[in-house]
């Protein structure tokens, strides 16, 4: 089958590889749509921390935002999955440790991550093998594009849940990229007044088209009481800025990751009586995200700038925007 393989920094392309075989408890999915994430770009450039920590090695097969149809079953898998449209969890815990058995498999020390960690092949390919326990069925009301947006949506939903927003609260989202915009959409669906702060003219202009209450640069940000500040950026200085901006007694949420240390002063955290929440993965939010998409509470499809083929992926990872691409931050890969 065809798969996109990264063999080294800035070295990648489509290769013919052996198709996956469903092991016990696994299924094979024919991938129909997959998303490109900032994590994929960092693996392509060689900047991803897992490469330096020993959790990932070249060659790599990327892809953790995906949907498709189950076409083969391994031993012990419920036959109801055959032919179902699905997406799935990226984080695959060992299933035996204390974290896994208490519902925290996404932070299992020995976890694999599809297309990311410990050599598990990803979904930027014609097929991918996935454990049955990771599958989430997609209803008819969630089309292929939405199905491939469940994983980033789950991160955003969990960020909004971590902010504990109530109707009428005022939320500030730092970083109007894919996750930041999704956070804004879910916060708005929760009844919050949503503002975004960013830097790039193009990203800010696009964010304004989505109807948020305010879209600002840092120097133009109004002095308003922020009931929650959610940092969805990769800027090392913004975690501290989030803590500076949030109202005393309220919440800061950190879902973005910088490429270098991003420090906060815990004295400020304590003296303002602020709750800080970290969000690693979509895992506990996948099913609720599918439900929100199916109800129409959130529709992230405008974020998709273009859908390209596997053969066109390397230039996208290198930062090129295909001819005819829209203004959104997200690129999808359509796989026949």
Digitized pLDDT (tens) for each residue of the chain, 336 residues in all: 999 999 999 999 999 999 999 999 999 999 999 999 999 999 999 999 999 999 999 999 999 999 999 999 999 999 999 999 999 999 999 999 999 999 999 999 999 999 999 999 999 999 999 999 999 999 999 999 999 999 999 999 999 999 999 999 999 999 999 999 999 999 999 999 999 999 988 999 999 999 999 999 999 999 999 999 999 999 999 999 999 999 999 999 999 998 889 999 999 999 999 999 999 999 999 999 999 999 999 999 999 999 999 999 999 999 999 999 999 999 999 997
Interatomic CA distance for residues 159 and 254, integer angstroms? 8
Identify the CATH number of the domain in which residue 273 sits: 3.40.50.720
In a domain, 294, yes or no: no
Interatomic CA distance for residues 219 and 221, integer angstroms? 6
Same-domain status, 116 and 227: no
Same-domain status, 264 and 168: yes
**Residue 105: its pLDDT value, please?**
93
Backbone angles phi, psi at 129, to 5 degrees: -95, 135
Same-domain status, 36 and 99: yes
Question: Strands of 11-16's sheet, edge to edge?
Answer: 11-16, 2-8, 60-61
In a domain, 285, yes or no: no
Same-domain status, 10 and 140: yes
Domain count, the chain: 2
Strand 65-73 relative to strand 26-35, pairing: antiparallel
Interatomic CA distance for residues 241 and 335, integer angstroms? 41
Interatomic CA distance for residues 134 and 93, integer angstroms? 10
What's this model's pTM, rounded to 2 decimal places?
Answer: 0.96
Same-domain status, 50 and 128: yes
Beta bridge partners of 2: 16
**Residue 276: its pLDDT value, please?**
98
Backbone angles phi, psi at 34, to 5 degrees: -140, 145
Same-domain status, 166 and 137: no
Same-domain status, 212 and 266: yes
Same-domain status, 258 and 142: no
Same-domain status, 8 and 136: yes
Instruction: Report the candidate in 66, 152, 67, 64 with the shortest Cα–Cα distance to residue 115.
Output: 64
For residue 66, the enclosing domain spans: 2-149+300-334
In a domain, 289, yes or no: no
H helix and E strand count, the chain: 11, 18
In a domain, 103, yes or no: yes
In a domain, 290, yes or no: no
Q: How far is CA 247 from CA 145, 192, 227, in A?
A: 37, 15, 6
DSSP state of 58: S
What is the chain's alpha carbon radius of gyration, rounded to the nearest angstrom? 20
In a domain, 83, yes or no: yes
Burial class (CB in 10 A: 0-12, 13-18, 19+), 124: buried
Instruction: Report the candidate in 69, 56, 64 with the shortest Cα–Cα distance to residue 9.
Output: 56
């Amino acid at each position: 089958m065809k798969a996109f393989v990264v063999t080294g920094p800035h070295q990648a392309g489509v290769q013919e590889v052996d198709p996956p075989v469903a092991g016990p408890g696994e299924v094979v999915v024919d991938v129909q749509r997959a998303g490109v994430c900032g994590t994929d770009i960092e693996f392509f450039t060689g900047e991803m921390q897992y490469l330096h920590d020993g959790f990932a090695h070249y060659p790599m097969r990327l892809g953790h935002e995906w949907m498709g149809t189950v076409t083969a079953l391994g031993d012990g898998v419920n036959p109801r999955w055959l032919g179902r449209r699905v997406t799935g969890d990226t984080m695959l815990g060992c299933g035996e440790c204390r974290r896994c058995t208490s519902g925290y498999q996404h932070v299992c020390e020995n976890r694999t991550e599809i297309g990311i960690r410990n050599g598990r092949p990803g979904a930027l390919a014609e097929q991918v093998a996935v454990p049955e326990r990771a599958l989430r069925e997609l209803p008819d009301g969630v089309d292929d594009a939405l199905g491939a947006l469940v994983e980033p949506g789950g991160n955003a939903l969990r960020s909004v849940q971590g902010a504990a927003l109530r109707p009428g609260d005022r939320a500030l989202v730092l970083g109007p990229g894919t996750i930041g915009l999704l956070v804004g959409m879910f916060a708005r669906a929760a009844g919050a007044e949503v503002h975004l702060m960013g830097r790039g003219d193009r990203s800010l202009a696009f964010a304004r088209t989505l109807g948020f209450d305010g879209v600002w640069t840092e120097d133009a940000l109004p002095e308003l009481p922020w009931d929650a500040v959610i940092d969805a950026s990769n800027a090392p200085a913004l975690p501290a800025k989030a803590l500076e901006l949030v109202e005393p007694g309220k919440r800061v949420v950190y879902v973005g990751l910088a490429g270098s240390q991003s420090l906060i002063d815990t004295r400020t955290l304590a003296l303002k009586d602020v709750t800080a929440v970290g969000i690693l993965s979509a895992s506990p939010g996948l099913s609720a995200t599918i439900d929100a998409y199916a109800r129409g509470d959130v529709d992230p499809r405008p974020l998709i700038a273009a859908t390209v083929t596997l053969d066109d992926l390397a230039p996208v990872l290198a930062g090129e925007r295909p001819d005819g691409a829209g203004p959104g931050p997200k690129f999808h890969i359509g796989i026949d």
